[in-house]
């Protein structure tokens, strides 16, 4: 770890995204899903008419609801902070409602996760939520159905960044997503330029987020790609990008990741990290060849919920990247975090961390 990081660790990693409050229910049956026209192993945006009373019904009828801070960027920031004893190494920006869910989430983020939160407050819309309904089939396998209510997430304002630019004085990594890019392109552009002009060599990290983001918003992604130092995604998103950019249909995943690393860049080097579930993780940098890292197997019976595992991987990776570790150490930290999360419901973390970093 460098001396600079030791002396200036506050807000060293800053995430900006859509903070959600996850409501997790573990014993939902198929009849309940069908009543709300939901499918197992699916993720959708809420339909206000169809899903309006869903949260109220869950709170009224299920006693075992877990309330966990969520949202892809916030998950990653929470996991990255989990690797440090020092509080406030990581900071999250986002927008929440002026309601009980928002107050609960801020309390949990700061007091339990030790993450600094900088939230806009939207007085007209409720805090965004992600309902995670888990059901178990006859074979004992766990399935999840995700319903996202973005609500106040849409209310993020540029002014909250401009009012808190001093927080970025010690920052080494800024992390955001394709999801946030769609709704707040001007904010993402501001942060990308901040990284490019910084004398501190701030790394700009981006997650592709979802295949539909890649397919439907490719122009916005291409506009921001030149600023990206660290690009995260999975194989489905990588293939979606190749299809959208009309690359050779015979390209294998290795070829696609290599092309992603060599897209136009305003930086000297870009690293692309693509996960493939239980299969090898592929890493390509502008200045290096394709690297592949195997993922340790985990017994199927220990897998409770894969929701948040990709976010957790990035969190572990960024924590170790921040502290100057090798690529294999960063991958191992990411994999370790992901495999801790999939043993739990939602992006929840055990108290112990075998790979915790000392400052």
Residue 287: per-residue pLDDT: 87
Residue 285 lies in a domain: yes
Range of the domain at 283: 3-20+71-127+154-341
DSSP label at residue 17: S
Quickly tell me which residue has 């509080």 as its tokens: 87
Quickly tell me which residue has 């990588």 as its tokens: 238
Residue 301 lies in a domain: yes
Question: Is residue 57 helix, strand or coil?
Answer: helix
> What is the value of pTM for the model shown?
0.92
- The token duo for 210 is 């979802």
The CATH number of whichever domain residue 250 belongs to comes to 3.40.1190.20
Total Cβ atoms within 10 A of residue 298: 14
Question: Tens of pLDDT along 118-139?
Answer: 999 999 999 999 998 988 777 7
Residue 352 lies in a domain: no
Catalytic residue list contains 255: no
Residue 28 lies in a domain: no
Distance separating alpha carbons of residues 115 and 12, to the nearest angstrom: 11
Residue 96 lies in a domain: yes
Q: Which one, of 305, 302, 312, lies nearest residue 345 by Cα?
A: 305
- The token duo for 97 is 């409602």
Catalytic residue (one of 64, 254, 311, 329): 311
Residue 309 lies in a domain: yes
Question: pLDDT under 70 in the chain at which residues?
Answer: 1-8, 359
Residue 311 CB contacts under 8 Å (≥ 6 apart), including other chains: 72, 73, 75, 76, 79, 341, 347
Residue 240 lies in a domain: yes
Pairing of strands 279-285, 291-293: antiparallel
Contact 59, 100 (CB under 8 A): no
Residue 266 lies in a domain: yes
Per the structure, the count of domains in the chain is 1
């Amino acid at each position: 770890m460098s001396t600079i990081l030791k002396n200036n660790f506050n807000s060293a990693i800053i995430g900006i995204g859509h903070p959600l409050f996850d409501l997790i229910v573990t014993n939902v049956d198929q009849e309940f899903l069908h009543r709300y026209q939901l499918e197992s192993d699916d993720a959708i945006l809420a339909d206000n008419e169809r899903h309006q009373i869903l949260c109220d019904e869950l709170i009224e009828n299920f006693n075992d609801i877990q309330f966990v801070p969520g949202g892809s960027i916030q998950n990653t920031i929470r996991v990255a902070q989990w690797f440090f004893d020092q509080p406030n190494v990581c900071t999250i920006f986002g927008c929440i409602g002026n309601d009980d869910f928002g107050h609960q989430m801020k309390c949990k983020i700061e007091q339990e996760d030790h993450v600094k939160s900088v939230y806009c407050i939207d007085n007209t819309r409720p805090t965004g939520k992600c309902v995670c309904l888990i059901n178990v089939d006859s074979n004992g396998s766990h399935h999840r159905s995700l319903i996202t209510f973005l609500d106040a997430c849409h209310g993020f304002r540029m002014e909250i960044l401009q009012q808190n630019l001093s927080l970025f004085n010690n920052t080494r990594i800024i992390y955001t997503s394709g999801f946030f890019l769609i709704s707040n392109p001007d904010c993402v552009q501001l942060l990308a330029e901040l990284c490019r002009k910084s004398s501190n060599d701030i790394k700009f990290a981006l997650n592709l987020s979802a295949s539909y983001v890649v397919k439907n918003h490719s122009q916005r992604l291409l506009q921001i790609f030149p600023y990206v130092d660290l690009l995260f995604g999975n194989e489905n998103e990588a293939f979606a990008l190749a299809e959208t950019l009309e690359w050779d249909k015979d390209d294998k995943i290795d070829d696609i990741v290599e092309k992603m690393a060599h897209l136009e860049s305003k930086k000297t080097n870009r690293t692309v990290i693509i996960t493939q579930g239980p299969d090898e993780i592929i890493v390509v940098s502008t200045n290096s060849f394709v690297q592949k890292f195997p993922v340790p197997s985990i017994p199927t019976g220990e897998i409770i919920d894969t929701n948040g595992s990709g976010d957790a991987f990035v969190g572990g990776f960024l924590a170790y990247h921040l502290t100057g570790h090798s690529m294999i150490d960063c991958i191992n930290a990411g994999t370790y975090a992901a495999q801790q999360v999939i043993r739990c419901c939602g992006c929840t973390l055990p108290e112990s961390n075998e790979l915790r970093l000392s400052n």
